[in-house]
Amino acid sequence: MARVISVEAERFPIAGVFTIARGSKTEAEVITCTISEGSYTGRGECVPYKRYGETIEGVLAAIETMRATLEAGLDRIRLQTAMPAGAARNAIDCALWDLEAKMTGTSAAMLLGIAPEPLETAYTLSLAEPEAMAAQARANATRPLLKVKLGSENDAARIRAVREAAPESRLILDANEGWTDDNVAENIAAAAALGVALIEQPLPAGRDDKLRHIARPIPICADESVHAAKDVDALIGLYDAVNIKLDKAGGLTEALKLRDHAHARGLGIMVGCMVGTSLAMAPAVLLAQGADYVDLDGPLLLARDRDPGLVYEGSLVSPPSGVLWG
C-alpha cells in the first residue's frame, strides 16, 4: 500500500495571554503531520519554537523534504538518523507511532507494554507583576501543582505572592533561563524558604556551570540544557532532574531513550510540553507514566482544543483514546 503524506499549519487561540520571560502570545501555532497507508491514518503534532531557531515555514519545509523518503516506507528507527531532533521530526515520529498502532490493531500503550493511568499535571501561571500572579494563583489554589513562570526582576516578590495566594499547592518555578549569576543564589534561597518543590532552568543553557558551585536546597531541573539522550551526561553535578519535551527530543522514540538514560543516571524525570493541543499531549501522557513531575496542561491554556481531545478533570489528565491518537 502506498503512503500518502500531508502537512498543515494550524492556529488555536489561547485563553487570554500566555507570557514567559521571552515574550507573550495569544495563540498556539502548531503543525500537524498526517501519514496514511491504505485505510489507516496516523497523526502527529509539533510546535515550532523560536528559541531553537524554528519557524512555521522552516518546519513545514523540513517535513516536506522527507516526503519521498516517508512515502518509500521510512520507519521510526531510521528516522532518528535521517533528521535532527526538533519539532519537525517530532510530528513525523508521533504520526508513525499512531499509524503503527492503527495498522496493528492495537494501541501505542500496548506497543510500549504499559497500562497507562490518569496523571496529575501542573497548571501554568503566566509571568506578570506579583499582584497579577497572586490573582492567577488564587483562582487556581485548589490545584495540587502550579508551575510559576518567572525570569524577570523582583522574582522573589512573585514567588512570595503566589505562595500566599495558594498556600496548599506545590510549586514549580520556571525561570526560562532568565536568572543571572548575580541573583540565582538569592532566588533559590527565597524559593527554599517558601517551600518550593522544584526549579526549572534558572540560568541560560551553556552558562549553567555556576550551579555546580552554589547551594541547591531545592532540586534543579534542566529544560533548555537538555534535548536528547546524548545531553544527559553533561548535566551530572549541575542538575537533579530533566524536563523531557517531545518537540525538543524530536519525537516519542528519542524521548523514551532520554527518559531511560536520565533515570539510569539518577536524575528525576519531568515530562513537559509547549503550548499545543491534545494531539501534541497524547503521546507525552504515555511517556509521563511514572514521571516525578508532569506538566501537560497545554490544552487547559487554550480557548479551543481539538475535538475529541484529552479528558481533563481538574488537574487529572486521562490517557488518550485511539480516536485522538495511539
Residue 308: asked if its preceding bond is cis (omega within 30°), the reply is yes
d(CA 167, CA 219): 20
The answer to whether 194 touches 155, Cβ cutoff 8 Å, is no
Q: For residue 249, how far is the Cα from the chain centroid?
A: 10
> Residue 86: helix, strand or coil by DSSP?
coil
250 CB neighbour count, 10 Å cutoff: 26
Strand order in the sheet with 316-317: 119-120, 316-317, 312-313
d(CA 221, CA 271): 11
266 CB neighbour count, 10 Å cutoff: 9
Catalytic residue among 25, 245, 248, 257: 245
- Characterize the bridge pairing of strands 3-20 and 23-37: antiparallel
The answer to whether 102 is a known catalytic residue is no
Catalytic residue among 147, 149, 210, 230: 149
The answer to whether 25 is a known catalytic residue is no
d(CA 46, CA 248): 10
The answer to whether 259 touches 283, Cβ cutoff 8 Å, is no
Cβ partners under 8 Å of residue 311, min gap 6: 317, 318
Kindly list the catalytic residues.
Answer: 149, 245
